[in-house]
Amino acid sequence: MMRSQSTALTVLPAQKNSVWEHRIAQWERSGRTQREFCREQRLALSTFQWWRARLKRQAASAVPSFLPLALDGADTVEVTLRSNTRVRVQGACAARVVDALIARLR
């Protein structure tokens, strides 16, 4: 007796991300609740919510913590951290001090 072989379809993680980004964008445009959208699309609500949270985390982690700034010739630099702590440096070497501070925070 001959046994049939099934071929598994391999989906790359980037492709899965793309599929779920598309689904979530469809939901956002639909005006429906997540539950309604998932029922209509025959998706598990828990899976939809998991992917939505995962893609949000990925988007948040893709944003750099510090953005490059041109500080040439600046004699006063003030940095406000997320904790609302402010660091103000004055003088000709302000840019170097801020560079050193950011390197240390990383």
pTM score, whole prediction: 0.51
Which of 13-27, 29-43, 66-80, 87-101 is least confident? Answer: 66-80
The answer to whether the CB of 22 falls within 8 A of the CB of 56 is: no
The answer to whether the CB of 102 falls within 8 A of the CB of 89 is: no
CA distance 1 to 16: 37
**pLDDT per residue over 6-27, tens digit each?**
455 566 777 898 999 999 999 9
pLDDT of 36 strictly over 80: yes
Provide φ and ψ at 88, rounded to 5°: -120, 125
Domain residue limits, the chain: 13-62, 76-105
β partners of residue 79: 87
The distance of Cα 44 from the centroid of its chain, to the nearest Å, equals 23
DSSP classification of residue 92: T
Q: How confident is the model at residue 83 (pLDDT cuts 50, 70, 90)?
A: confident
Tell me what pLDDT residue 106 has: 67
